[in-house]
Structure 1
Amino acid sequence: MRGKGRGLGIAAVVVGLLGVVLGLGGVGFARYQYGGSVVSSESMKPTYGPGDRVVYERVDGSEVRRGDIVVFTAPDRYGSDGLVMERVIAVGGDRVTCCTRTGTDARVTVNGRPLQEPYVKDGDAFGGFVEYDVRVPEGRVFLLGDYRSNSRDSRAFLSDHGGTLPVSAVRGRVIDDYTVPVVLGSAMLLGLVLALTGAGLGIAAFVVRRQARAAVPPPPPWAVRS
């Protein structure tokens, strides 16, 4: 019985510690590497609409590429430090113009090449805003919403560096592949299960030891000396 109690105690410590390390490690990495947000506007419809939950990977703004959907903060433009979500159309060194053709045939061009943008709402790449021709400075990005006629994006701030935003304002890149977050979530869940299992084994070890002590018979009376 004593050996069994000792074995359960060791198992409790090993399993419990493994669970704590796995769970806290998963939580720490997830908080460091990923973030979540809820869409509050229609500017990215039909890709994302109000109430949609998105997960973004925390990346340095210099890592984003054309076509990425990013979240950023620009309190000087939007009046708060809340996250804003838009699509990267051009990066440092690019020349972005709009628009060639008209109506649903209108196209935004980057470095003279018309963009194919199947994601824009109703196929309207122009959105009725003023035309623009911007050379994106190094270290900045030009951003547009997918709902071009209902998005307050770089076009609304053309007098400020051509509407471009410094890459330092970028907080993350929205992801559609949830493989890594799911793995992290599974690791955290497994860690919780292991921690609870360790606690259960610890309780079992305590009970076994109590029973072992209770099973030891008292010494005979003649063994007691006066």
Structure 2
Amino acid sequence: MLGPLGLVMLIGSFMYARGAYTTAIVRSESMTPTYTVGERLVFERVDGAEVRRGDVVLYSSPERYGPGLSVIQRVVGVGGDRVVCCEGTGADERITVNGKPLDESYVQEGIADGMHRPYDVKVPEGRLFLLGDHRLNSRDSRAFSSDHGGTVPVGAVQGRVTDERAVPAALVVIMLLGVPVALAGLGFGIAAFVVRRRSRAVPPMPPWAVQV
């Protein structure tokens, strides 16, 4: 039983982790100071329709960034939202969503815009408006205003960043435990096979008494 149990633990947890999570390494400074270049992030695979404002997502947009490349940005507006830049000036400058200024404590140096190009976008249903946290160094929705106001379809989302590492870590532990359990089962199986072979090699005792 140990062998099959170990294989179930190893293969089952691997397949679940592969289907439920993915990872990516930060390649640019567009999300600093929240995430730094070289940092590996864990993303839970979710339907793009499930993401909310403030979520950081991994998505692909080949027509904008090239094939095979994924981008990490923050969701600022979802379908039906009106995203406007900007209200206030200087350190008080704020992006507004549906008329309410955003409190973006995560942006680099407190700069909410950085491009000095006002925009007023009504996010279509089924699409997302995304920005990097480093507004002075991010090629995000602002750079593609002629294409649906810079928004991307929810279907482009590949995952949502999660700081909850307990579940992925538990899956790794189960996978690691599965290896010795499977090996132990294999070892016991081989030992049992050898014992059976040896027991068959011993001649049976005669049914009568033997005198010397």
Bin for the TM-score computed over the shorter chain: over 0.9
Say which of 40, 49, 64 aligns to 2:51.
64
**How do residues 27-106 of structure 1 correspond to structure 2 at under 5 angstroms?**
27-106=14-93
TM-score by length of 1: 0.87
Counterpart selection for 2:7 from 10, 20, 30: 20
Q: In structure 1, the residue corresponding to 2:167 is in which secondary structure?
A: helix
Measured in 1, the distance between the counterparts of 2:95 and 2:139 equals 17
List per-residue Cα deviations over 1:24-77 (Å, max 9, x = no partner).
111111111111111111100011111110111111110100000000000101
Tell me which residue corresponds to 1:205: 192
Pairing 1:167-186 to 2, within 5 Å after superposition: 167-186=154-173
- Aligned residue in 2 for 1:158: 145
Unaligned stretches of 5+ residues in structure 2: 207-212
Residue among 131, 138, 152 paired with 1:144: 131
* Larger proportion of helix: 1
Code of the aligned partner of 1:122 = E
Q: How many residues end up aligned between the 2 structures?
A: 208
- Residue identity over aligned pairs, in percent, reads 60
Instruction: Tell me, in whole angstroms, the C-alpha distance in 1 between the residues paired with 2:164 and 2:8.
Output: 26
Measured against aligned partners, the alpha-carbon deviations of 1:177-211 in whole angstroms (never above 9, x if no partner) come to 11111111111112112101101211222343344
Contact 1:129 1:155 in 2 (8 A): no
1:157 Cα offset (Å)? 0.5
Q: Which deviates more from structure 2 when the two are superposed, residues 111-120 or residues 185-194? A: 185-194
Q: Distance in 1 between matches of 2:191 and 2:91?
A: 71
Match of 1:194 among 181, 200, 212: 181
Shift in Å, 1:87: 0.2
Q: Which amino acid aligns with 2:156?
A: A
Q: How big is the shift at 1:217?
A: 5.2
Q: Deviations over 1:160-179 (max 9, x none)?
A: 11111111111111111111
CA contact (8 A) 1:66 1:89 kept: yes
Q: Secondary structure at the match of 1:45?
A: coil
CA RMSD of aligned residues (A): 1.8
Counterpart AA for 2:178: G
- How big is the shift at 1:120? 0.5
Q: In the alignment, which residue of structure 2 is the partner of 1:108? A: 95
The residue type equivalent to 1:185 in the other structure is V
Q: What secondary structure, in the 3-state scheme, does the structure 2 residue paired with 1:26 have?
A: helix
Distance 1:199 1:108 in 2: 62
Cα distance between partner residues in 1 of 2:86 and 2:182: 59
**Runs ≥4 residues deviating over 2 A:** 206-214, 216-220
CA distance in 1, matches of 2:39, 2:181: 33
